[in-house]
Chain A
């Protein structure tokens, strides 16, 4: 076997079935042997960034990792944004890049770049392989590291001569990673302590992050919340960890979270955060966050997340599922009377601070579009949002009941994520309807991947919430930067229906609310990808929103005159 075959064989052995990739000088040996490996489905992307986002969407939708191939230099560097996106959101991915031949490394050879150096900050781990006999071990380690513990992307950079060198592979039985330890079961006494704190709390709140979804801990979260009668909010990436329509749901937290969620977080005397980083989009101004929480309990699989931003009173380093399951058993269900006051207060906040938007017969409101989509698909669809206002509308105006139904780039906020990630999600879950929601700004950043959807006949329905501007930046400028609208107008954009046509997919345009149902009928009727260009109110905003630099208490709602 040669190195290229070992790489392909290793992926196959590890159960990876899909590769998103792009060939070039430094990975041609891999492509030469690819056809021998029939169980590996290769998807030829149109830009390497698309490959990383597709593998990302694939893993977020299915929980299974995919592989990514790229050539050296510019090919590998085009992956960096996609790696960062996956890394920030703890998404597993195995990336194999070609590197110049061993003897050329360090000489500024054609298409040489220090890929291991460039990708170190955006991968969980990475390797440069200069000896073919190392490949079986490195490939096994790469898959193990990517998928275990707190998942993340792992990159293996392989010199071209190594891909061509022969060796009889010896596949390691055991991995020897002395510096990589996975957390064991949660510390019993910490869980006891947390359970007693929950028993004592008058105004408890649970916040759930992506970690709950990654560890498939939704049943345990539901059991804990119901047993202890504790309301549950989620982060943007935690959406789906707890059913939005559940009576105990606080919906989304953070600087664009729901008013009743923010009130509850700010009033809580106990806050239990599970599988989340407690980052600035969740806390807004950190020293004004959850000021009344006498007990802050933080559960995370990554010890470095605990105490990074706010020091907890009780910390549990463990997988979310084990910790929540343990807690659910240990808590004592409160007398219904005991929680009534707190839950009634939350109910009142829900009524005082409902999600609102501008109702208008004139211009199309984005929320109306999302609501119509939801009415049709309920929880049968996977919604992949891009970044910007469209992302928050899709997060807030849909009642997600299950995990893996709302995918978006939370930590990195990468515009251009949605279309390729939706393609990846569709390939992972062909039986699910997949809707891609994007602004016209982010969409054009990776629009070339439409060809992939067409080539594979993928039923990905693209809904553009087209406001002819970089909407979220425009809102920030209006609200926080003196109303100076600077470089946010996208006055010259393609005719998206013609663009769809040029790429070989069906498209239509919607300008009024009453045209929406027909457009969705058309999209649902038409097999394969469809693009709907929704010309929405260019002034539509996201509310509530916490002004930059302010605390959660200062959230602003839709001004009354618009409601």
Chain B
């Protein structure tokens, strides 16, 4: 299996205690998995964070990553979204050293690719782009000829499409 086929996309809701990230990453490493992308942020519930992980499961059985994550006491809920219809987004900031005529072409390129210029100075531009990983990578590639000097990229943020049955029922009862 290639790395791509072994890749699992999971979300985990965790207690936002100090060291939780270390625990999650430590577990992933110990079990022979490899984190390809990671993002963490607060949820709308106090004391809970949500992580999105893209994990190469290595030689393990596919459900092991989720099961091992779930074993951690501070991990409240794990979902493996790999087989589900999912929205998966990344964000990148790109800094270009551009002057003169290049500049207009660079702005046009950012525009064409659906990005946004966030900051512009006499010698530079900073553009923001978000989307699926491939799209973000494509845009970065297309800006490369314009004097790309710095790229900052986030890990993935994922969400399954639709409403899980359980919640749908709760909503309809409310």
Contacts and interface: CB of A to CB of B under 8 A. Distances in A.
B63 A307 contact: yes
B74 A179 contact: yes
Contacts of A121: 26, 30
A304 B68 CA distance: 6
B115 to A, nearest CB: 39
B22 A125 contact: no
B140 interface: no
Interface string B58-77: 00110110011011111111
Given A121-B30, A178-B15, A308 B61 contact: yes
Contact of B73 (A116, A145, A302): A145
Contacts of A304: 64, 67-68, 70-71
Interface residues of A, number: 18
A143 B134 CA distance: 48
Nearest to A179: B76
Given A117-B22, A120-B23, A179 B67 contact: no
A117 B64 CA distance: 23
Interface string A291-320: 000000000001110011001000000000
B19 interface: yes
A502 interface: no
B64 A179 contact: no
B64 A116 contact: no
A179 B72 CA distance: 7
Interface in A115-148: 116-117, 120-121, 124-125, 128, 145
Interface in A252-311: 302-304, 307-308, 311
A563 interface: no
B61 A116 contact: no
Interface in B22-57: 22-23, 26, 30
Interface string A104-123: 00000000000011001100
A562 interface: no
Contacts, number: 40
B96 interface: no
Interface residues of B, number: 22
B63 A179 contact: no
A492 interface: no
A285 to B, nearest CB: 15
Nearest to B64: A308
Interface in A157-181: 177-180
Nearest to B65: A304
Contacts of B72: 179
Given A121-B30, A303-B70, A307-B63, A179 B22 contact: no
Contact of A178 (B60, B67, B70, B76): B76
Given A178-B15, A308-B64, A125 B70 contact: no
A179 B19 contact: no
Best-buried of B22, B61, B68 by chain A (most CB within 10 Å): B61
A241 B109 CA distance: 71
22 contacts: A116-B19, A117-B22, A120-B23, A121-B26, A121-B30, A128-B18, A128-B19, A179-B14, A179-B15, A179-B72, A179-B73, A179-B75, A179-B76, A179-B77, A302-B71, A303-B70, A304-B64, A304-B68, A304-B70, A304-B71, A307-B63, A308-B67
